[in-house]
Structure 1
Amino acid sequence: MDIQVNQRSDYTFKYNQKLARHGWLRLTPAYSVKLVTEMINKISPESFILDPFSGTATTGLVAAEQGLQAHCLDINRFLIWLGNVKCRNYSFSELDDFNQRIKTTIHQCKFLINQECWTPEIYNITRWWSTHTLKIIAALRQALVSEFGEPKEGDVSSLAWVAFCRLVIETSSAAFNHVSMSFHEQVTRYEVEQIEQLYQSILEAIINSISHPLAGKATVFYADSRYSVSNDVKYSHVVTSPPYPNRMSYIRELRPYMYWTKFLDTAKEAGEIDWQAIGGTWGMATSRLQNWDSNGIELSGSLNRIVSQIRESENKNARLMAKYVEKYFYDMYLHFDNLRHNLRDNAVLSYIVGNSSFYGIPVKTEKLLEESLHQLGYTNIGSNVVRKRNSKKELFEYCVYATWKEF
């Protein structure tokens, strides 16, 4: 039976792009501000929200905008930094000082263009930016470092670095219109004045977007969400969207930002982050997957059947993809298992997830996660369709929900 539901672009990252802090940097896997708002709209003021898969901190920022308290978790240091920049309030005095120092930075940039300024070790970097544009961007970066230092936590100068990240991607020839990143045929050449004007306009939009202080408080921490957060923190609500089981690089779109801000130095480090991420398998993560073992933990019979069907399909990567699917749901089981230690009595879980298909074999993510929740003693478990994901009729997003009841 076909499910009749619309694609709902307002429930995707596209809805966020013109919404103040939410639109600073795009990330395709990010879910919609509108969807999160609807999910927490009736939560009481004393609630304590957890997002164990923070990403661009959409949940945390929406919670803070609504006067709520939230903790968010991620394994990516860049996303932790970005999330905390977005969820912070800024005083008039520090912004006034910041604006004066930005003027100094812009002025200094002109004198650095003909010097040898640092550029990241991005493969075939001139495919991203022309040699001429690259010199200007590198000079601007050096001017930022001279005035503010490298990006750091809890400092107003982070706004300058967010604007720089936005500048880097807007002047590049990269296109993120589909799963595999592509490049435009022509690499645009920018002049100094164009770079300066674009950077200043981006920064002005960022400054304007933080004019209204956040009523609540959200903080992003480093953590591996497969394991418990802390023994002394209890949450009343979990609102999140974990990676989907679709073998997509966890940091695909983030790499240019991370290289330029030195949160990432080598492709090996990128593969390491993908390996740590639930559902991430790219580069070294793929080779490590070959030797992965579930340590004897038995999940549902439904998962075993799906894994067997994928393994036995006629495809050269069938065994690898079978193991990928098995590891994804194993990691999510670990997450649900250890999460219980940080939940209040009657805590409510809401997970936005997507189903998948491997070689024509459907992977019903929502049902498999429901089975794990049942195994672990959660109650009031179910799911509903949120939206149709793309032109493939079998791909949807669901909200999987459950309640944790202490016995």
Structure 2
Amino acid sequence: MDMKIAQRPDYTFKYNRKLGRHGWLRLTPAYSVKLVSEIIDHIPPESFILDPFSGTATTGLVASERGLSTHCLDINPFLIWFGNGKCRNYSETELRRFEKGIQNSLRKFHYLINEDNWLPDIHNITRWWSENTLKPLAALRQAIADEFGEPGDEDVSALAWIAFCRVIIETSAAAFNHVSMSFHDDVTTYELEQVAYLYETVADAILRSVDKTLSGTACVYSADAREPVSVGDIKYSHVVTSPPYPNRISYIRELRPYMYWTKFLDTARDAGELDWKAIGGTWGVATSRLQKWEPDGVDLPLPLNTVVSEISRLSEKNALLMANYVWKYFHDMHLHFDRLRSNLKKGAQISYVVGNSSFYGVKVHTELLLSDSLRQLGYTNIGNRIVRKRNSKKELYEYCVYATWQEERLYKPSYFTEASGKRTQLALF
């Protein structure tokens, strides 16, 4: 491996910060507008793109800005709501309502400051916000709810709540100087007028960023990427996406403050349940279930068996858990590639931005293992290229794995029936 490969911060979320809608909310695993643009630059205007791991809808928004049509899928209700709010056009009437609603909310906010306003049930909440900051945040939240209703509607009210999400993260002790979220040692206090000013400033920036009309269309739908998806019986010519990496960094961890404050989450148990449904999720209850997980007869490529066996034989305390984690991740991604075929046009091109991993010194070459799955499932023209060196361990890189789907006929799902039994090669533990 060439150790001179650059880290390329322009291929990360850092590049998105000042790009209008792309910079509304920070999510560490989000990939760069620049990288997505490079992937889709030569896609013909009549193409229909699929992003089966929508996240913050970067693919959908970049494609819309270029006049292309995109369907995005995600399993997280907050990200579905957020992505649709990010990717739609807003009428002049809606934007006037938004401006007026923001001013009304700020007036109500001052009257609500001494009320006993609702707070989310976040464990150790004062690690995130000081008690004196929580009071104006709760009052502001109630004022927005009184004016716009609770989050969930896919209309201009989404902009008001997205602005609030930005305020709660800006006033928190969350630190983004690591591959995932950590906390500053000191929790800064924000007074009423500071919170009001910040919210008005963020809302104004959002208003200015939606002024430009999107010439394409992008919609985000609720779907499990491991299941066949049919949105209007569309057959997609391109797939451009970035699934979770097999590195145990959970999206739920970073999304929790937004999801609790907007009531997309109520309890820690809910967070764990949602993470269990996601590919690569290991938050809360997902971890305990992972210990007992077994594959359901899926015929996986042999090289995965070697990697999983190597991890499982280590003397580390959590070796078996991590082996199961790797096993389940590639099992689920194999199911995804399998089911995806029924949604692709002949000649469809797919591009997946992924990262490799290391568990107790055992290298997990994601780019090669996913390529093995694609090959076994009948994809052609399979390859990968290094995108950048990641900021953490020296052996970690980001890749773009690509392939083509040539067959029009449907393959049978690549799993065994109960009568045929499970493959003995998978009986590792």
TM-score by length of 2: 0.93
Letter matched to residue 4 of structure 1: K
- Deviations, residues 6-38 of structure 1 (Å, cap 9, x unaligned): 110000011111110000000000000000000
- Contact 1:176-1:253 at 8 Å conserved across structures: no
| Partner residue in 2 for 1:317 | 318
| Partner residue in 2 for 1:96 | 96
- Contact 1:11-1:35 at 8 Å conserved across structures: yes
- The verdict on how the C-alpha distance between 1:56 and 1:142 changes in structure 2, with shifts beyond 3 A counting, is same
- The verdict on how the C-alpha distance between 1:365 and 1:193 changes in structure 2, with shifts beyond 3 A counting, is same
- Deviations, residues 272-326 of structure 1 (Å, cap 9, x unaligned): 1111111111211011011111122231221111101000012010011111101
Question: What stretches of structure 1 move > 4 A for 4+ residues in a row?
Answer: none
Please show how residues 59-208 of structure 1 align to structure 2 within 5 Å: 59-179=59-179, 181-208=181-208
Q: Once structures 1 and 2 are overlaid, which stretch shifts more, 157-166 or 387-396?
A: 387-396
Letter matched to residue 139 of structure 1: A
Q: Partners in 2 of 1:389 and 1:130 — Cα distance?
A: 33
| Partner residue in 1 for 2:366 | 365
- SS of the residue corresponding to residue 98 of structure 1 reads helix
| Partner residue in 1 for 2:289 | 288
| Partner residue in 2 for 1:380 | 381
- Contact 2:49-2:239 at 8 Å conserved across structures: yes
- Deviations, residues 330-385 of structure 1 (Å, cap 9, x unaligned): 00000000000000010000000000011101000000000000100001001111
Q: Partners in 2 of 1:171 and 1:120 — Cα distance?
A: 15
Q: Once structures 1 and 2 are overlaid, which stretch shifts more, 223-232 or 275-284?
A: 223-232
Please show how residues 215-294 of structure 1 align to structure 2 within 5 Å: 215-230=215-230, 232-294=233-295
Q: Once structures 1 and 2 are overlaid, which stretch shifts more, 356-365 or 177-186?
A: 177-186
The offset of 1:233, in angstroms, is 1.9
Q: Partners in 2 of 1:31 and 1:270 — Cα distance?
A: 23
Q: Partners in 2 of 1:179 and 1:28 — Cα distance?
A: 7
Q: Partners in 1 of 2:75 and 2:349 — Cα distance?
A: 23
Q: Partners in 2 of 1:38 and 1:250 — Cα distance?
A: 25
| Partner residue in 2 for 1:336 | 337
Letter matched to residue 123 of structure 1: H
Letter matched to residue 119 of structure 1: L
- Contact 1:66-1:216 at 8 Å conserved across structures: yes
- Contact 1:272-1:284 at 8 Å conserved across structures: yes
CA-based RMSD: 1.1
- Contact 2:308-2:323 at 8 Å conserved across structures: yes
Which blocks of at least 5 consecutive residues in structure 2 are unaligned?
409-429
- SS of the residue corresponding to residue 64 of structure 1 reads helix
| Partner residue in 1 for 2:416 | none
TM-score by length of 1: 0.98
Letter matched to residue 223 of structure 1: A
- Contact 2:180-2:254 at 8 Å conserved across structures: no
Letter matched to residue 327 of structure 1: K
Letter matched to residue 343 of structure 1: L
Q: Partners in 1 of 2:359 and 2:316 — Cα distance?
A: 10
The offset of 1:91, in angstroms, is 1.0
Q: Partners in 2 of 1:133 and 1:359 — Cα distance?
A: 41
Q: Partners in 2 of 1:148 and 1:9 — Cα distance?
A: 37
Q: Once structures 1 and 2 are overlaid, which stretch shifts more, 386-395 or 167-176?
A: 386-395
- Contact 2:245-2:280 at 8 Å conserved across structures: yes
Q: Partners in 2 of 1:256 and 1:392 — Cα distance?
A: 28
| Partner residue in 2 for 1:7 | 7
The offset of 1:387, in angstroms, is 0.5
The offset of 1:205, in angstroms, is 0.5
Q: Once structures 1 and 2 are overlaid, which stretch shifts more, 130-139 or 349-358?
A: 130-139
- SS of the residue corresponding to residue 253 of structure 1 reads helix
Letter matched to residue 295 of structure 2: S
| Partner residue in 2 for 1:301 | 302
The offset of 1:3, in angstroms, is 4.8
Q: Partners in 2 of 1:228 and 1:278 — Cα distance?
A: 15
The offset of 1:391, in angstroms, is 4.7
Letter matched to residue 311 of structure 1: S
The number of residues matched between the two structures is 407
Please show how residues 343-358 of structure 1 align to structure 2 within 5 Å: 343-358=344-359
The offset of 1:394, in angstroms, is 1.1
Q: Partners in 1 of 2:204 and 2:103 — Cα distance?
A: 12
Q: Partners in 2 of 1:341 and 1:92 — Cα distance?
A: 40
